[in-house]
Every structure is written in structure tokens, then in C-alpha cells.
Amino acid sequence: MLRMMAPGVVWVAALLASMLSLGRMFSGDYLDGTLEQMLLSPQSLSLLVLGKALAHWLVTGVPLVLMAPVLGLQYNLPADALGVLTVSLLLGTPVLSLIGAIGAALTLGLRGGGVLVSLLVLPLYIPVLIFGAGAVEASAAGLGAGAHLSLLGAFLLVSLVLAPWAAAAALRISME
């Protein structure tokens, strides 16, 4: 029972950790005017957004990746499943931060932005959650986690290329 629940519980924790802190990704900079300076700066805005998403991931994703083996032990996961859980989180949590950057940029400065950002990013988070938790289950069932992890890696690459760009466009719209 504990073993079956473990990947889902840890992944939901990752999702909540990422989603609940999205509101703060840009709001501090927005309120004190730093964001306007960033928009005016000669560096490409996509690169700056990528930096913001990286910072968000370092705060919300990396601790969970580091803790995952310990959490998995508490759920009595076998050693190879622990490895798969950690790798799936390592590949998946950056995707959450990158997708979240789009939602955070779109809802910047809106009333009720906190609820809205959850509504916007949750549907896009679900596939990552499914494949992340699915990787551990597949490896526990003896099917091998390769396919799930490859898909997570593909999500990461696509979102790494497209998400900063979309979030930068959304920030420009929000700051007009």
C-alpha cells in the first residue's frame, strides 16, 4: 500500500510546492519596478525569464529531488525505484517551473491571480505528474522506466526552448 502510494504522494508534493509559490516568481520585481528595468535591459527577456524559472526551480524543485531518496525510504520503496523516483523528479520539476513561469507572467498583477494561475497551469502540469509517477510504477511493475523518463526528458527539452519565450511574450503583454 505504502509502496503504491509513494510516487503519487511525492509527485503531488512537487506539484504543490511548485504551484503555490508561482505567484511570487515575478510579483516582487513587478511591485518594486525591477521588472520594468528588466524589460528595458539589453539582455533578451527570454534569458532573464529562464533565469527566474531556474531560481524558482532551485528553491522549489531541487530540495525535493535531494530529499526524494529519503522520502522514498519512508515509503519502503526498493532501491531501483528510489533511483527512478529521483531521476523522474530531476527531469520533471524543471518543467513545472518553466510552465509555471508562463502562468505567473500571464496573471501578473491581476485580482484573484492566485486562483487563476492554478487553473491555468494545472492542466499543463497533469501530463508531467502522470509520467513522473508512472515511471516509478512502471519500474516497480518490472516494465522498465525508460519510456516514461524519455517522455519527461522530451517535455523538459520542449519547455526549455518554448516556455521562456512564451513567458517573455506574456510579461510584455502584462507590463504594457
User: Do residues 68 and 105 lie in contact, with contact meaning Cβ atoms separated by under 8 Å?
Assistant: no
**Nearer CB in complex with other proteins: 42/142:** 142
In this structure, the dihedral spanned by the alpha carbons of residues 84, 129, 93 and 88, taken in order and rounded to 10 degrees, is 10
Q: How far does the chain reach from its first CA to its final CA, in angstroms?
A: 52
The whole-angstrom separation of Cα 148 and Cα 91 is 11
Q: How far is the CB of 15 from other proteins (least distance, A)?
A: 14
Number of H helices, E strands in the chain: 8, 0
Pick the stretch among 54-62, 74-82, 83-91, 100-108 that binds other proteins (CB under 8 A): 100-108
Q: How far is the CB of 67 from other proteins (least distance, A)?
A: 27
* 112 touching other proteins, by CB under 8 A: yes
Nearest to 128 by CA among 105, 100, 102: 100
Out of 12, 31, 110, 143, the only residue in the binding site for other proteins (CB under 8 A) is 110
* 20 touching other proteins, by CB under 8 A: no
Enumerate binding residues for other proteins (CB under 8 A): 102, 106-107, 110-113, 116, 119-120, 122-124, 126-127, 130, 162, 166, 169-170, 173-174, 176
